[in-house]
Amino acid sequence: MSDRSESDRLVKESRFERLIRRPEIGSFIVMIVIIVALAFASDFKAFNALGLKNNIAIIAQYGIIATGAAALMIAGEFDLSIGSMIGFAGMSMAMMLKWGLPFGLGEATPMSAFFLTLIMTLGIGWLIGTIVVRSGLSSFIVTLAFLFLMRGVTEVSFRVINKSTQISGLQDFKETSWFADILGGRVFGWFYDIWFALGGNLNRRGEQWVDGFDARFMWWLIIVGVAWFIMGRTQLGNWIYATGDDKEAARANGVPIDRVKVGLFMFTAFCATMFAACQVFDTNTSDAAKGNLMELFAIAIAVVGGTLMTGGFGSIIGVAFGAITVGLVANAVFFIPSIDGAWFRVFLGAILLAAVFANERIRKRITGGI
């Protein structure tokens, strides 16, 4: 009897040990604390029908780009061009929708504008990755150069072709194009329909207040789901972790580390393009300043989510928790007007520093202090 009790105790301890060693455990705890604190501080307004929709919109934006940044960081590289890529992609789509396809190919549709832009951004991602792996230069420097290059190209193109750094008042393509609707429309309306049926989600006239989440929420879930599956269930995921942990050992074991890295730079370009597309088709506008500093938010969220700056360690689910945490705090000023918006930067800096130390401690627990 005592032997069985001792065995049960050890089993329970081993499960607990496995739990606290998971990369996402720290970001999960912080997320729960922020959710509870924001709920009470805002008198639960942050999680009423409209508050939930607005919070999810910010969280999904951060989550899309942070997923790409985290996968690349796990492989031991950085991409500082994500924000400029967002601006470039948004400019490309908006200008094609306004002025037509390049080289006189005719009027642009939402689908043609998106896919032509995606071809360009994937090509730029491929070029960045190729320069990094073939030159041996730091990805920090290479992508910093592309940060300035693409931001400059975006601003120059706006001024030369559009005579302004903004495009506003585009046709609402969601009304005529299913493709624009799945990028910039509303999704999961059934959730709010059920809420309304249960007696909530009401405006002052007793009508249904909110009819769905922004489409970027759906794309965030898809991107996170695919990335989680690849990172945790496929050979490619093993290659990514091995590349970031010890690239020479990975190369010696047959891992195509150059192709892995180039592919991940293209993935960050894809995430930036999805971010931009959802914005353009939602707001029917574009601006040369779009995506400014988003590369820093993406990296910060990846670290808060449990990703090591040195590579080889991280969790896509943890990054999702990090996106929720940062998104909620970023949006808190709208629900708690007494809070100065600058406190968001204070919080982000503090939690980022704490996350770096916590991630290293968790890594040492898993590796036995190596």
Determine the average pLDDT of the residues in 274-288.
Answer: 95
Structure tokens, 255: 């891992």
> What size, in residues, is the chain?
370
Q: Closest by alpha carbon to 317, among 3, 78, 5, 22?
A: 22
CB atoms near residue 161 (< 10 Å): 13
Q: Closest by alpha carbon to 79, among 294, 339, 307?
A: 294
Strands (E), 217-329: 286-287
Q: Which residue has the tokens 């420097």?
A: 141
pLDDT for 16-41, tens place per residue?
A: 666 666 777 878 888 999 999 999 98
Give the pairing of strands 186-187 and 166-167: unpaired
The fold of the 26-186+213-367 domain, in CATH, is: ABC transporter involved in vitamin B12 uptake, BtuC (1.10.3470)
pLDDT for 324-367, tens place per residue?
A: 999 999 888 888 877 777 777 788 888 888 877 776 666 666 65
Three-class SS of residue 187? strand
CB 333 within 8 A of CB 346: no
Determine the average pLDDT of the residues in 269-284.
Answer: 97
Considering only residues 185 and 337, tell me which one the structure prediction assigns the higher pLDDT.
Answer: 185
The confidence band for 2, taking pLDDT boundaries of 50, 70 and 90, is very low
Mean confidence (pLDDT) of the chain = 89
- Which has the minimum average pLDDT: 128-132, 217-221, 313-317, 339-343? 339-343
- Residue 305 is classified by DSSP as T
What is the per-residue pLDDT for 6?
44
What is the per-residue pLDDT for 363?
63
CB 323 within 8 A of CB 66: yes
What is the per-residue pLDDT for 336?
81
CB atoms near residue 130 (< 10 Å): 15
CA distance 28 to 31: 5
Sign of CA dihedral 296, 298, 303, 308: negative
Cα separations (Å) of 343 from 41, 123, 153, 310, 336?
A: 15, 39, 33, 28, 12
Three-class SS of residue 3? helix
